[in-house]
């Protein structure tokens, strides 16, 4: 029998790498009796970090689903990575979480990973609480960390606990909500409840009153009782806190030592008593704009938030039941591809360990295996129910590389491996670029790339290298030029003959017809790579039969696809064919294609040609300290600063930068800002490259052609 929706809590552990999320999860499992002994990150035997790569590196790379039973509740726990390169695991976990538990390191305070993740808490409007962990560290400073959290995340951050004796001798916590002191035995575990010492009474009472006042503000009735009686009953206080946390009006702060097993039980109790059940969260939005309440009645709807591939098992799908009851053996229809999937087995997960269950009810998180055609970000429903949960919006890739296999023979094997990883990891985007003639990989950062390379080599047995992607330059012209070309070839049989006279000009919308020419026909070609070719047929007196018009245009397009200067695509050119000659026997389509290609190529070089490069707009968010270094670096990248502003606690720099200058920019920005900056980039326009760079590009292309 599955847990009722009202007794389910879905908690996502968040925070900067090294704040102790995995150890905290291990302690929660041990304290709740889900495991008989606690593992450690150092020994590589925790329930959460079960992947061999995580054990080797000593930090989380993938999100891990676990669960415990505590009091009345089943608490689903999702441990997430703290490294920004693996932010996709955080975003997908937050999609299905109902409470965010942000861990802060009492020694280091609010770190950049926590700052970046907070943006997602605000975006998802997820109720959140803080746990200041590692208060047993010799350099722990609870008060400084709390102050930083209030400064960074706002006055809604409210301390519910504080350690009496932080540091190496830590063993006592004052709980201002319950107005009690917890004293832990030497090896941690269940604490002894004691009265708050007289020396701590004033501080504890001031904190308690602040909590009561914050809870009272959530409801008019509670506020009236608070004014009348000066306090709230335990039930009223719980109700006020429940409302405040659900509305993101209150962010409680607790403290713990996960390594010493001190504090996790009280936090789980608070999650059970106060944090929202899935049914108490706002209904989930569907793509058609309708709401989907989390109830067990009605059709079943599930959403797959994570897919992994396991040896000897195949696809393993992690999902949330958003509505109804899912039973083993049920068949659901995928709303994306209309395929039917049979859920032959359902599991609860604790890391790699899975326990089979017969059903899962609305709000619960579960696992199944061997779905045929269903993947991350897809919704499945009872047949006849047409629902599609709004998809997870993963962050745009920030690092772009080209992939090279050791040999052409390995390319097919490599692409199969990368396609398999891409299905598991939506933050990885693979692209076969016909324009650049390269396989491109778009990832979150260098660590993300390193992980993919490791998996490809270790799991799939293929090696690969990363190189800088080619730049999708464009070629165009800046003035008018006329040219004619005669193609004449005589062989033993029929020969080839064609002569084409053309004028080429830079094209822009609304330009008048060419002077001195009589336009008989106009064709406008919107080019696949952007820009236009305007083809004017201006031949009079039948010098060239109009039936050769398509062949002439085709010859021009072929040369525009691989431009005369660097082999890049050409754009925004008007070509007027106004004269020529033909032969009654030897003229054919091939002859006119060759003649037009050569005439275009020669005319292009006379028309003051110009190489254009893609320019991207960058929005960079950084702190004050890093701003000067970032601005200085941008100047070395031929950037033009468009503006500066502030956004929340960040400084915002808006700049336009040539794509050629952005290779590995994410790694450079991280180094300049100690990880406290982030950026987005989007294509803006094509601009002319400086003349010295144009000459270098032309010369490099010549050398390539000579070598090739």
Half-sphere exposure (Cβ direction) of 28: Cα atoms closer than 13 Å: 33
493: Cβ contacts below 8 Å, ≥ 6 apart: none
319 and 431 both lie in a single domain: no
Within a domain: 389 = no
Percent of the chain with pLDDT strictly greater than 70: 98
The helix/strand/coil state of 11 is strand
Give dist(CA 106, CA 145) in Å, integer: 6
Q: Are residues 599 and 635 in the same domain?
A: no
pLDDT of residue 708: 60
- Confidence (pLDDT) at 74: 97
Q: What is the pLDDT of residue 18?
A: 87
- What are 409-456's pLDDT values in tens digits? 888 889 989 988 888 899 999 999 988 889 999 999 888 999 999 889
Is 89 within a domain? yes
Q: Are residues 558 and 597 in the same domain?
A: yes
**Same domain, residue pair 658 and 530:** no
- 3-state SS, 660-691, equals HHCCCHHHHHHHHHCCCCEEEEEEEEEEECCH
In this prediction, residue 442 carries a pLDDT of 94
Mean residue pLDDT across the chain: 92
Q: What is the CATH number of the domain that holds 430?
A: 3.30.70.870
pLDDT for the residue numbered 575? 98
**Residue 14 sits in the same domain as residue 105:** yes
Residues 6+ apart with CB under 8 A from 542: none
Nearest alpha carbon to residue 503 among 541, 539, 474: 539
422 and 565 together in one domain: no
> Are 489 and 552 in a shared domain?
yes
Boundary residue ending a domain (450, 467, 484): 467
DSSP structure string for 130-172: EEEE-TTSTT--HHHHHHHHHHHH-TTEEESEEESS-STT--E
Instruction: Answer whether residue 441 is part of any domain.
Output: yes
**Residue 46, pLDDT score:** 81
How many angstroms separate the CA atoms of 174 and 192, rounded? 12
- pLDDT, residue 484, reads 97
Instruction: Please report the pLDDT score of residue 87 as a whole number.
Output: 92
Same domain? 162 vs 31: yes
State residue 116's pLDDT score: 84
Residues 459, 481 within the same domain: no
Greater model confidence, 53 or 22: 22
CATH number for position 627: 3.30.70.240
Instruction: Kindly report, residue by residue over 307-317, the tens digit of the pLDDT.
Output: 988 877 888 99
CB 441 within 8 A of CB 417: no
Taking residues 241-262, report their average pLDDT: 96
Q: Which tokens in the block code for residue 471? A: 């730049």
Higher-pLDDT residue of 40 and 305 is 305
% of the chain beyond a pLDDT of 90: 76
My answer on whether 289 and 275 are in the same domain is no
Any domain includes 702: no
Q: How confident is the model at residue 199 (pLDDT cuts 50, 70, 90)?
A: very high
The predicted model gives 153-163 an average pLDDT of 96
**Total structural domains within the chain:** 5
The C-alpha atoms of residue 298 and residue 646 are separated, in whole angstroms, by 47
Lowest mean pLDDT among 46-60, 91-105, 476-490: 46-60
Give yes or no for a contact between 533 and 557, defined as CB atoms under 8 angstroms apart.
yes
Q: What does the alpha-carbon distance between residue 367 and residue 78 come to, in Å, rounded to a whole number? A: 13
Cα-based angle 222, 223, 227 (whole degrees, multiple of 5)? 120
| DSSP assigned state of 648 | T
Residue 172 and residue 26 share a domain = yes
Quote the pLDDT of residue 58: 65
pLDDT value for 284: 93
Is 388 contained in some domain?
no
Please check whether residue 596 lies inside any domain of the structure: yes
Tokens linked to 341: 């999937």
CATH number of the domain enclosing 109: 3.40.50.300
Task: Residue 568: give its domain's CATH number.
Answer: 3.30.230.10
Q: Which of 467, 484, 516 is the last residue of a domain?
A: 467
CA distance 367 to 363: 13
Q: What does the pLDDT average to over 179-200?
A: 95
49 and 12 part of one domain? yes
Q: Is 381 a residue whose pLDDT tops 90? A: yes
Domain-embedded: residue 680: yes
Domain edge (last residue) among 280, 302, 324: 280
Enclosing domain of residue 452: 399-467
**pTM of the entire predicted model:** 0.86
How does 194-209 read in b/e, with b if 16+ C-beta sit within 10 Å? eebeeebeeebeebbe
Q: How far is CA 29 from CA 68, 74, 129, 309, 310, in A?
A: 6, 12, 19, 25, 24
CATH assignment at residue 338: 2.40.30.10
Residue range 18-39: mean pLDDT, rounded = 92
């Amino acid at each position: 029998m599955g847990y009722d929706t009202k007794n389910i809590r879905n908690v996502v552990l968040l925070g900067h790498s090294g704040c102790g999320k995995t150890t905290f999860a291990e302690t929660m499992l041990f304290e709740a009796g889900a495991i008989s002994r606690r593992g450690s990150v150092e020994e590589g035997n925790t329930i959460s970090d079960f992947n061999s790569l995580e054990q080797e590196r000593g930090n989380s790379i993938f999100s891990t689903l676990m669960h415990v039973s505590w009091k009345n509740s089943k608490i689903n726990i999702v441990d997430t990575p703290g490294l920004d390169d693996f932010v996709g695991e955080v975003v997908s976990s937050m999609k299905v979480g109902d409470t965010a538990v942000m861990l802060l390191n009492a020694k280091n305070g609010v770190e950049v990973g926590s700052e970046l993740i907070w943006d997602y808490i605000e975006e998802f409007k997820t109720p959140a609480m803080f746990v200041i962990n590692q208060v047993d560290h010799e350099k722990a400073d609870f008060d400084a960390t709390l102050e930083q959290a209030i400064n960074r995340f706002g006055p809604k951050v409210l301390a519910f606990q504080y350690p009496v004796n932080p540091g190496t001798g830590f063993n006592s916590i004052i709980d201002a909500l319950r107005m009690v002191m917890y004293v832990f035995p030497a090896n941690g575990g269940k604490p002894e409840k004691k009265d708050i010492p007289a020396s701590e009474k004033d501080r504890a009472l001031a904190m308690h009153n602040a909590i009561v006042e914050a809870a009272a503000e959530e409801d008019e009735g509670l506020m009236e009782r608070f004014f009348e009686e000066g306090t709230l009953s335990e039930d009223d206080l719980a109700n006020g806190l429940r409302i405040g946390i659900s509305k993101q009006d209150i962010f409680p702060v607790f403290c713990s030592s996960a390594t010493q097993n001190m504090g996790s039980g009280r936090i789980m109790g608070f999650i059970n008593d106060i944090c929202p059940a899935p049914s108490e969260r706002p209904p989930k939005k569907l793509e058609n704009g309708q709401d989907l309440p989390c109830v067990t009645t009605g059709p079943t709807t599930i959403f797959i938030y994570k897919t992994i591939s396991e040896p000897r098992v195949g696809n393993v799908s992690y999902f949330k039941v958003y509505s109804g009851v899912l039973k083993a053996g049920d068949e659901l229809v995928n709303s994306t591809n209309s395929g039917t999937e049979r859920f032959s087995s359902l599991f609860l997960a604790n890391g790699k360990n899975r326990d089979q269950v017969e059903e899962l009810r609305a709000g619960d998180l579960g696992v199944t295996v061997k779905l045929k055609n269903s993947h991350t970000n897809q919704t499945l429903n009872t047949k006849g129910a047409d629902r599609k949960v709004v998809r997870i919006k993963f962050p745009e890739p920030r690092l772009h590389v080209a992939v090279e296999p050791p040999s052409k023979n390995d390319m097919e094997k490599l692409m199969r491996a990368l396609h398999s990883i891409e299905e598991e990891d939506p933050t990885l985007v693979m692209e076969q670029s016909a324009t650049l003639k390269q396989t491109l990989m778009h990832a979150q950062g260098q660590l993300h790339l390193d992980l993919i390379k490791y998996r490809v080599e270790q799991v799939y047995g293929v090696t690969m290298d990363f190189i800088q992607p080619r730049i999708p330059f464009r070629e165009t012209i800046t003035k008018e030029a006329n040219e004619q070309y005669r193609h004449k070839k005589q062989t033993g049989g029929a020969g080839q003959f064609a002569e084409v006279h053309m004028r080429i000009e830079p094209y822009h919308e609304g330009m008048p017809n060419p002077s001195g020419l009589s336009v008989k026909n106009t064709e406008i070609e919107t080019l696949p790579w952007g820009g236009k070719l305007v083809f004017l047929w201006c031949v009079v007196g039948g010098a060239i039969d109009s039936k050769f018009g398509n062949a002439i245009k085709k010859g021009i397009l072929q040369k525009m696809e691989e431009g005369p200067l660097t082999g890049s695509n050409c754009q925004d050119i008007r070509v007027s064919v106004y004269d020529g000659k033909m032969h009654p026997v030897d003229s054919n389509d091939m002859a006119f294609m060759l003649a037009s290609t050569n005439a275009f190529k020669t005319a292009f070089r006379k028309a003051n040609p110009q190489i254009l490069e893609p320019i991207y707009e960058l929005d960079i968010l950084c702190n004050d300290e890093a701003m000067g270094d970032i601005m200085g670096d941008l100047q070395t990248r031929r950037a033009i600063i468009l503006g500066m502003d502030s956004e929340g606690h960040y400084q915002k720099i808006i700049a336009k930068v040539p794509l050629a200058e952005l290779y590995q920019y994410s790694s450079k920005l991280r180094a300049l800002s100690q990880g406290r900056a982030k950026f987005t980039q989007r294509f803006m326009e094509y601009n002319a490259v400086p003349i010295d760079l144009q000459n270098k590009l032309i010369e490099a292309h010549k050398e390539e052609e000579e070598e090739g």
